[in-house]
């Protein structure tokens, strides 16, 4: 029996985009695959609502009002959030995508997004997060100054 990775997880998918229609479309589409989603209109709103140590995955627009998606990625690392990040954008370029991936992003998609590719990337991100979290263990988190 095939089971979606989302049903095995404790954390949701956090979607951050300043366009309500994009938030709704992604929430509905991912919901059909069994993913619980929480939506936010800004990076600041997300950071205020989600404490470090939270499980899940972030799907964020690169260009957001206020803090950009790339700045959010840096802030997540600074705050010791171990959430994997997938970027989406309507206005991306190769330099932006390379910078995001070098900083640890799982993937980078241009809008309109291919649903199947996004779901596959999300599954891989969640699997990788589970493996890395298990392998890392508490001792590594203490050594790195990040505790969860």
The one-character DSSP state at 113 is: P
Give the structural domain span for 90. Answer: 5-144
Any idea what the CATH number is for the domain that residue 13 is in? Answer: 3.40.50.2300
> How big is the CA angle at 46 (ends 38 and 16), to the nearest 5 degrees?
60
> Using CA atoms, how far apart are residues 63 and 92, in angstroms rounded to an integer?
9
When pLDDT is cut at 50, 70 and 90, the band that residue 138 belongs to is low
Question: Among residues 45, 48, 44, which one has the least CA distance to residue 67?
Answer: 44
Total of domains in the chain: 1
Of 6-15, 22-31, 58-67, 135-144, least confident by mean pLDDT is 135-144
Q: pLDDT tens, 61-78?
A: 999 999 999 999 999 999
Rg (CA), the chain: 15
């Amino acid at each position: 029996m095939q089971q979606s990775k989302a049903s095995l997880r404790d954390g949701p998918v956090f979607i951050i985009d300043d366009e309500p229609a994009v938030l709704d479309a992604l929430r509905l589409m991912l919901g059909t695959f069994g993913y619980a989603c929480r939506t936010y209109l800004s990076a600041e709103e997300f950071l205020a609502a989600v404490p470090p140590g939270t499980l899940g995955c972030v799907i964020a627009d690169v260009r957001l009002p206020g803090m950009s998606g790339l700045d959010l990625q840096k802030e997540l690392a600074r705050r010791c959030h171990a959430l994997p990040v997938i970027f989406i954008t309507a206005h991306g370029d190769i330099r932006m995508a390379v910078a995001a991936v070098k900083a640890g992003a799982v993937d980078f998609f241009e809008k309109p997004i291919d649903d199947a590719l996004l779901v596959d990337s999300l599954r891989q991100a969640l699997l990788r997060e589970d493996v890395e979290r298990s392998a890392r263990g508490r001792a590594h988190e203490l050594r790195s100054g990040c505790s969860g």
